[in-house]
Structure 1
Amino acid sequence: MNVPADSTTFGAPLDTVAELIGGPRIDDLLRRAARRTPRHPALVSDGRVIDYADLDQRVTECAEALRDAFGGPGTVIAIAAELTVEFAVTFLGISRSGNTSAMFNPLVPDDTLVHVLDSCGARAAVLSPRMHRRIAALRNRLPKLRQLVVTAEAGDGTPVLGELPRTVVPAGEAVETACLQFTSGTTGAPKTVRLSHRNLLVNAAQSAHAHRLDADSVSLNNLPSFHLMHLNTALAVGATHLLCPAEDREAMVRLAGAWQATHLYSLPVRLSRLAEDERLPSLRIPSLRVVLSGGSALPPRTTTALSEHFGVPVVQGYGLAETSPSTHFDLPEGPTVGSSGPPVAGTACRIVDVRTGAVLPAGERGEIQVRGPQLMLGYLGDGHGDAVDADGWFRTGDVGRIDEAGRLFVVDRIKDVFKCDNWLVSPTEIERVLMRHPAVTDCVVFDQPDELSGAVAVGLVVPRGEGVDPAALAEFANAQLPYYEHLRQLHLVEGIPRSATGKVQRRELRDRLLGSL
């Protein structure tokens, strides 16, 4: 039901997590792991194996170079969240230097990149040569960004991080804001989220516990960019973290086998492609304990296919940039298909009516609201705005329901749902039904204005093979849906534009389709 989860993590109150790990900053996770198991592999990437002692030394050297180059404390330093060793070193180095990192997604388009870098007020940036070339081309649109450093020689005289002078950082120095992150911007311009060291420390412990990670775990990160949760959870328990950004399924399985990976992290779009890969029967990971997904809903047929093939649970979670990010994760011991699971330790969740704000009982759909110690400090320049009420409940903007066992089922974004004959309709739920048809490779559903009903469901489908009849697909879906969710039209298309993380700009596609009719 809608009650707070157990308020302990690893048997200790969440309020004392920072003290338990031995320091007030997120980089203290690394310092503790380096003391405990200095020669244990920490990061593996492109054939490089970096143990905890080596990683800790690199972070200290980075911190001293950053302090000399950019000063501090509190300087905002931008970094691209590329899935590399250099990102991990730089993020932790910024923390250890007493400054604040501004993490941006390296995959966003130029206009979004300019917006986030300008809105966060970054004065400096540490970039890979590839990202440096991109930022350099946008420099005339970024007047606040005054100092650039590269992680390796860029060929244009830009200072290289490893060649900078160093200044010792005062011991124990920290600032309140550990890092700035950005919302996805799927329903508007990205907002700048302020996360504290405590936010990140607590969520590292919450997530490591929910994922059943320990010092013997080997996590394989097969995402196109770096998410702090994966770095911080591995550091929290002293696990080995394998970085595999490319979508090369055979290479990923070889790496997993060589290092006896126990946890496979990926995105729904990549896991779905893996499930449909004709080579899947030959791809085995005997050491695997669990497949973990996040970012968007995982199709049930993908869950079933991968769970049956690998013989392990396939689970998903839920979270947001504002919650550091994790608030829910399904139980590896007994996952429920389609569920994001119960709240992580110390976190409460409730469902409220999207119009009145009244708390709803189990099973009812409404807005998801969460509360817990991982909730952000606020938005930069705007505090919490109207996102958090007086009792600390954060309005996620997502629609969902909670079952009798306390498991969360995410339905859709509030801005994507619509009403047909006064019934709340979720495009995502219609898409899930469509995806059950073997002739559907991909799809997206949205609303179309209707004089009688207010709005009705229409959609785009990427067919598998030739001769697919859209009317037959609509009939297949409608037979499994209540009348108010029936598809009135389906259009066949060659592809549906998605971001690298699998998200779709539903409103943009809707307006484009309606404009062409």
Structure 2
Amino acid sequence: MFESRSAGRPWLSAYPPGIPAELDIPRLGTLVDLFEECMTQSASRPALESFGTRISYAALGDTAEAVAAWLADQGLVKGDRVAIMMPNVVAYPATIFGALLAGCTVVNVNPLYTPRELTAQLNDSGARILFVLENFAHTVVEALPDLSLDRVVVAGPGDGLGLKGRLITLASRHIKKAVPAYRFPAGLALRFDAVINAGTGKPKIRADIGPNDLAFLQYTGGTTGIAKAAMLTHRNIMANVEQSRAWFRVSAEYGEGKVMVTALPLYHIFALTCCFFFFMKIGACCLLILNPRDADGFIKTLKSTRFTHFSGVNTLFNLLINHPRITEVDFSKLDFVIAGGMAVQATVAQKWKAITGQAIVEGYGLSETSPVVCVNPLDLPEWSGTIGYPLPSTDVAVRGLDGRDVGMGHPGELCVRGPQVMAGYWKRPDETARATTPDGYFRTGDVAVLQEDGQVRIVDRMKDMILVSGFNVYPNEIEDVLASHPAVRECAVVGALSDDTGEMVVAHVVRRDPAITTEALRTYARTQLTGYKVPRQVVFHDALPKTNVGKVLRRALRDEPPTA
């Protein structure tokens, strides 16, 4: 159990008026309690908007109840894992709530994963049911020989949107040609609409769950670069929602008429907590953006919607401010703009403020912390370049290699303790122990400085993780793929700065076959890696720099300027 300390918290004196140092975490309950609260207080309000259509809390609740009933009919019980492999479509939040009502643990899956990546995650989690958008069903079919799934539920992008939704799904298939051919074995797969029909009208399902039960397995490379799942409990997520609500000083009354632009994918922890659960808590509406990389379509949606809140990562802000029609968007109703996932660049923050009139309020978090640890004050006049102050009921410490606090103004590893910190890594007690200090802090692996006023500034990452558009990329995984190519003798992967993605992947390769080309290696990598993990550049060497024990010196490679 987390025990807070009142001493040694210089940030408390800088808290804006009305923000408490501590919250009553035990009273918060579970995400099922949050669901019930939404249905009671906000039933008639719009909960979701997608493709220009709004879905009420009551309608979202009915769909979630049907999903829960169907899962129970499939024999799923408390603690069973349900995987969701979708972008931001209406079926996603309904499935999340349905799985939680049934007492299941949700496994969020990046829909852009390759069959190899999908297999690793589903098998590690032990997921029994997979919900997938039909655009990505072909990946599941390819991975099936190595999977052990009870059922697969296939959704269309317009599911849940009535007649208009059916037209949207048909257009996706036949006009945009966005659904590659797939065929599941007989009896394994069914449509999302069939699930809803089967579950509608059945008794409500309420599993006997408590705050310490697992709500999510959130996969991350953590601080070591080894892909693993952070075990996030109902208490973790509920605590972070309440911490955020207290920081921004908002209530259910505030949520009336508020709309959060939810462009970040819900399978990312930032969007899941900060865009979805937080805005559900206050009865606001989530504007679901299916594909924010379609800048023209994104701008068109923003022009046609009265939105009041915006969240994003640096690359998303950069995409928008460089669009020729950004000035046609009405930003006058914005209450605040939140950034996370990766560091915001100063030039991007300045251009955003000049165009929209709103400063970017930057925060910091990780999958392991549900995610928010620190955030800047809401009334920030200009982007600060810091990650702000620790949230209520949160302790941070900056420590050296010896585990001792380094003192104000000195860099060290940022360590976090609070009710939002995960229960541990799924089936990896050794990794959990490695990431936890004797006094209960989580070691983030990030180098930070604690300033005199209690603000925290991130200096650098301690590990070799590469951050591409806010997504973690782990060199070991890419090196394993490249090294499997017969023309590669050895390789090392590092990150380099990129104007459009923050960082990019650069592969340094010693060839076995001198005829192998950069494009041939990139093409090979694409067969086994999600697009953002594929090396943007490949640099060929006669030999890689190594230590005296033969370990590749990634730092030396990182210091080399990337070639064109």
Mapped contact 2:23–2:392 kept (Cα < 8 A): no
The alignment partner of 1:401 has SS state of strand
Closer, same or farther: CA 356–501 of 1 in aligned 2, 3 Å: farther
Which structure 2 residues correspond to residues 140-179 of structure 1 after superposition, within 5 A? 140-142=145-147, 144-152=148-156, 156=184, 158-164=189-195, 165-166=198-199, 168=203, 171=206, 173-174=208-209, 176-179=213-216
Mapped contact 1:9–1:206 kept (Cα < 8 A): no
Could you tell me which runs of 5 or more consecutive residues in structure 2 were left unpaired when the two chains were aligned. 1-6, 160-181, 468-493, 501-521, 540-553
Of residues 104, 110, 124 in structure 1, which corresponds to 2:109?
A: 104
Of residues 378, 394, 398 in structure 2, which corresponds to 1:351?
A: 398
Q: Which residue of 2 aligns with 1:274?
A: 320
Q: Which residue of 2 aligns with 1:228?
A: 272
TM-score (norm 2): 0.70
Q: Which residue of 1 aligns with 2:93?
A: 88
The alignment partner of 1:274 has SS state of helix
Letter in 1 for 2:272: L
Aligned length: 444
Please say if 1:191 is aligned against 2:228.
yes
Task: Report Cα offsets for 1:44-101 as digits up to 9, x if no partner.
Answer: 0112211111111111111101111242122111112521211101011000011111
Closer, same or farther: CA 44–170 of 1 in aligned 2, 3 Å: closer
What percent identity do the matched residue pairs reach? 27
Letter in 1 for 2:452: E
Mapped contact 1:267–1:501 kept (Cα < 8 A): no
Closer, same or farther: CA 283–63 of 1 in aligned 2, 3 Å: same
Mapped contact 1:303–1:337 kept (Cα < 8 A): no
The alignment partner of 1:400 has SS state of strand
Closer, same or farther: CA 406–197 of 1 in aligned 2, 3 Å: same
Letter in 1 for 2:255: A
Q: Which residue of 2 aligns with 1:364?
A: 410
* Distance in 2 (alpha carbons) for counterparts of 1:75 and 1:8: 42
Letter in 2 for 1:190: A
Q: Bigger CA drift: 323-332 or 210-219?
A: 210-219
Of residues 381, 391, 406 in structure 1, which corresponds to 2:439?
A: 391
Mapped contact 1:5–1:344 kept (Cα < 8 A): no
Mapped contact 2:19–2:249 kept (Cα < 8 A): no
Q: Which residue of 2 aligns with 1:477?
A: none
Which structure 2 residues correspond to residues 248-397 of structure 1 after superposition, within 5 A? 248-334=294-380, 336-353=383-400, 355-383=401-429, 384-397=432-445
Letter in 1 for 2:81: V
The alignment partner of 2:434 has SS state of coil
* Distance in 1 (alpha carbons) for counterparts of 2:308 and 2:531: 23
Letter in 2 for 1:19: R
Aligned-pair CA distance for 1:172: 5.5
Q: Bigger CA drift: 45-54 or 212-221?
A: 212-221
Mapped contact 1:5–1:345 kept (Cα < 8 A): no
Mapped contact 2:16–2:377 kept (Cα < 8 A): no
Letter in 1 for 2:193: G
Letter in 1 for 2:435: A
Which structure 2 residues correspond to residues 346-495 of structure 1 after superposition, within 5 A? 346-353=393-400, 355-383=401-429, 384-416=432-464
Q: Which residue of 2 aligns with 1:3?
A: 9
Aligned-pair CA distance for 1:126: 1.7
Mapped contact 1:289–1:313 kept (Cα < 8 A): no
Runs of 4+ in 1 over 4 A off after TM superposition: 4-15, 152-157, 184-187, 458-464, 496-517
* Distance in 1 (alpha carbons) for counterparts of 2:440 and 2:536: 30
Mapped contact 1:4–1:349 kept (Cα < 8 A): no
Aligned-pair CA distance for 1:171: 3.8
* Distance in 1 (alpha carbons) for counterparts of 2:448 and 2:228: 23
Mapped contact 2:11–2:454 kept (Cα < 8 A): no
The alignment partner of 2:31 has SS state of coil
* Distance in 1 (alpha carbons) for counterparts of 2:413 and 2:536: 19
The alignment partner of 1:397 has SS state of strand
* Distance in 2 (alpha carbons) for counterparts of 1:339 and 1:389: 25
Of residues 250, 255, 258 in structure 2, which corresponds to 1:215?
A: 255
Please say if 1:27 is aligned against 2:74.
no
* Distance in 2 (alpha carbons) for counterparts of 1:219 and 1:35: 21
Could you tell me which runs of 5 or more consecutive residues in structure 1 were left unpaired when the two chains were aligned. 418-426, 429-457, 465-495
Task: Report Cα offsets for 1:235-288 as digits up to 9, x if no partner.
Answer: 111111111132344543443454421111112111112233343344432111
Task: Report Cα offsets for 1:103-157 as digits up to 9, x if no partner.
Answer: 1222344433222222112122122222322111111222x33322223598755
Letter in 2 for 1:241: C
Aligned-pair CA distance for 1:516: 10
Closer, same or farther: CA 85–9 of 1 in aligned 2, 3 Å: farther
* Distance in 1 (alpha carbons) for counterparts of 2:299 and 2:356: 12
The alignment partner of 2:347 has SS state of helix
* Distance in 2 (alpha carbons) for counterparts of 1:346 and 1:53: 33
Structural RMSD (CA): 3.8
Letter in 2 for 1:33: C
Q: Bigger CA drift: 361-370 or 377-386?
A: 377-386
Aligned-pair CA distance for 1:377: 1.0
Closer, same or farther: CA 504–205 of 1 in aligned 2, 3 Å: farther
* Distance in 2 (alpha carbons) for counterparts of 1:115 and 1:403: 41
Aligned-pair CA distance for 1:18: 6.0
Mapped contact 1:264–1:291 kept (Cα < 8 A): yes
The alignment partner of 1:138 has SS state of helix
Mapped contact 1:324–1:375 kept (Cα < 8 A): yes
Which structure 2 residues correspond to residues 125-136 of structure 1 after superposition, within 5 A? 125-136=130-141
The alignment partner of 2:74 has SS state of helix
Closer, same or farther: CA 515–119 of 1 in aligned 2, 3 Å: farther
Aligned-pair CA distance for 1:401: 1.1
Aligned-pair CA distance for 1:505: 7.9
Q: Bigger CA drift: 500-509 or 197-206?
A: 500-509
Mapped contact 1:330–1:339 kept (Cα < 8 A): yes
Mapped contact 1:105–1:225 kept (Cα < 8 A): no
Aligned-pair CA distance for 1:4: 7.6
* Distance in 1 (alpha carbons) for counterparts of 2:102 and 2:207: 10
* Distance in 1 (alpha carbons) for counterparts of 2:104 and 2:392: 29
Closer, same or farther: CA 307–2 of 1 in aligned 2, 3 Å: farther
* Distance in 2 (alpha carbons) for counterparts of 1:382 and 1:309: 46
The alignment partner of 1:182 has SS state of strand
* Distance in 2 (alpha carbons) for counterparts of 1:463 and 1:163: 45
